[in-house]
Amino acid sequence: MRLPAEPVDVEPAGGVQIAHAQRDDVQLLFHADHSAARPGPGLEQNGHYRERPATGLEHVVRCRWEQRVGDTPHVQRVLPDNCADILVTADGRALLVGPPTHVELPRLPAGTLIRGLRFHPYAVRTALHTDVAELTDQSVDLDDVLGAATARTVAEQIWAGSDVELAHTWGNAEPDRATAGIVRMLTAPGAPSVDAVADRAGYSSRHLRRVVHAETGLSPKTLQRVARLHDFLRAAEAGISSAAAAAGYADQPHASREIRALTGLAPGQLLRERGLT
């Protein structure tokens, strides 16, 4: 499958191909976290990342995005974000990548061009009719999930940035409202404990864990840990101690342990790498 080379609403692609990219490196770019911070060193000078809303799909899709690497390779620190993505490359490859639970450091070759669609954590099973619990830290060809014909159509829609066509595909998808509410509650700033969320939802803690894992591929605790990390990044301009407190870490040692476990860096190192200090 080969897709048109012309991007929509961005600079010309110039016929960029990524045929020589390593599959594992390319697929990891799905979850490169840019929502809470500026690009890391070298990215602004050597490429760009952009997110845009997917109009008409806000109930299912968090955003559509494009990553372009300039004329030198780029190493991207990919942080967990609780989401699953469909990724489409300039040579027509389309992959579904499940939610990651750990940091990765893919090396993206010069000239890489990727466009993607990022799903809300609670929408993947409904939108794609797949067992998201089997996708955690995994990637599969989109053909294997949707079938070759539908996968090609979806890949072309993502590549073209066609919100209208994507809305025809998923506009009627209806994620379970109860589960969506539970996930939002678990990942909101200052979220209550898992047991407290279960109590509010009228579930036992065990049943809540089963439901959340089935819909998101992640445990409630993992959802909360990852959300807390991104809350920390969004509050980073206040300084490490203030950002840690705002994100809900018990203290600075707690923040250091959790952030290093999820990102591979101490808080200060992470903020410096992302240009936030």
Distance CA 229, CA 255 (A): 9
Domain spans in the chain, listed from the N-terminal domain onward: 23-170, 177-273
pLDDT recorded at residue 277: 75
Q: Which of 36, 151, 130, 35 minimizes the C-alpha distance to 84?
A: 130
Residue reference for tokens 């806000």:
58
Give how far the C-alpha of residue 102 lies from the chain's centroid of Cα atoms, to the nearest Å: 12
Cα separations in angstroms, 194 against 106, 177, 198: 33, 18, 6
pLDDT at 47: 62
What is the predicted pLDDT for the residue at 113?
A: 93
pLDDT at 146: 94
Q: How far apart are CA 118 and CA 201, in angstroms?
A: 26
Using left for φ > 0, alpha for ψ between -120 and 50, and beta otherwise, residue 190 falls in: left
Question: In terms of Cα–Cα distance, which of 183, 15, 203, 191 is closest to 84?
Answer: 183
pLDDT at 88: 96
Output DSSP code: residue 82: S
What's the CATH code, domain 177-273? 1.10.10.60
Q: Hey, is 118 helix, strand or coil?
A: strand
Q: Which element (helix H / strand E) includes 73?
A: none
Q: What is the pLDDT of residue 75?
A: 87
CB atoms within 10 A of CB 100: 24
pLDDT tens digits in sequence order for the chain, 277 residues long: 434 333 333 333 332 222 333 444 444 444 444 444 333 333 333 468 899 999 999 999 999 999 999 999 988 888 999 999 999 998 889 999 999 999 988 888 999 999 999 999 999 999 999 999 999 999 999 999 999 999 999 999 999 998 999 999 998 999 999 999 999 999 999 999 999 999 999 999 999 999 999 999 999 999 999 999 999 999 999 999 999 999 999 999 999 999 999 999 999 999 999 888 7
The predicted model scores a pTM of 0.82
